[in-house]
Amino acid sequence: MLEKGINIKSAFVKFIHNLQNEFCHAVELTDGKAVFKEDKWERPGGGGGKTRVIQNGNVFEKGGVNTSAVEGIVTDAMKKQLNINGEYFFACGLSTVLHPFNPFVPTVHANFRYFELYDDNKKILDSWFGGGTDLTPYYLSEKDARHFHGVLKSTCDEFDIAFYPKYKKTCDEYFVNTHRNNEARGLGGIFFDYLRPDENRSAEFWLKFVTACGNSMAGAYLPIAENRKNTPFSERQKYWQEIRRGRYVEFNLLHDRGTLFGLKTNGRTESILMSLPPTVKFDYDFQPEKGSEEEKLTAVLLQPKEWI
């Protein structure tokens, strides 16, 4: 149980740093070869972060697990991008993306964050949580999709049985390449933003919910990676993975609010673009063969599906 009057900001900063340590350790165990390299950085306007990157492993070709806690003046660009009117801000969060080498192991993304907004006297005007996680496979496995979504649903159901369908729908609607006939980036997960305390749910409630979601990340994804990491694959299947990685890049650079916000507000470029895969292909008008496993995946991406 959380103590009454707990400092939400301090509690969440502690949580993301602990989760970074625990998840990096679990990823290294799954990989069995590569280890994370840490790059600590400071933000000129206040705060900083720890970027941890893993590369060229047995399982993970490239990945990152980053934390940051930054503060400063709310710029005009931030006011426009976030539709806020405060004078000072604090933002902290954990963001992770893992791009596997084997095309039968899905890519995973997760982000969990907390934001505070202050007036001229540093009095809190507003605060909220956001985040979520989603799965991006290159070959369709309904078993994997059911496992991933099942863990997320179980976590959400501990707080409110309405949360999973609500946040799954938000995720399905957000991670979409609208310029590609509304093709989804992957098989979704959960996504939420602007979770604020009100008369029904306290800040402590949302802290517990978001931390539970963060703690479920390893159980949702790593068993899939373990089960698929030794699956034999061909050059053609690796080629398809790189084609699909191109769509991942397109979403992140054209539509992702976090990426665009970071780049437009002079964020740390290396940490922001850590999410991009190491190798991609952008072949002109590439189409999968009719009746192939590749076409089976793309068909699912054109219409959200209930996995549970």
Catalytic residue annotation: 109
Give the Cα separation of 112 and 78 in Å (integer): 19
- Closest listed residue to residue 16, CA positions, set 54, 67, 69, 50: 67
Give the Cα separation of 308 and 306 in Å (integer): 6
Asked whether 50 and 28 are in contact (CB, 8 A), the reply is: no
User: Dmax over Cα atoms in the chain, in whole Å?
Assistant: 63
For residue 81, the one-letter residue type is: Q
Measured CA to CA in angstroms, residue 280 lies from 37, 238, 250 at distances of: 23, 10, 11
Coil, helix or strand at residue 244: helix
- Phi then psi for residue 45, to 5 deg, are -80, -10
Q: What share of the chain is helix, strand, coil (3-state, %, to 5)?
A: 45, 25, 30
Give the Cα separation of 63 and 23 in Å (integer): 12
Asked whether 290 and 70 are in contact (CB, 8 A), the reply is: no
Angle between helices 8-31 and 203-215 (to 10 degrees): 10
In eight-state DSSP terms, residue 152 is: H
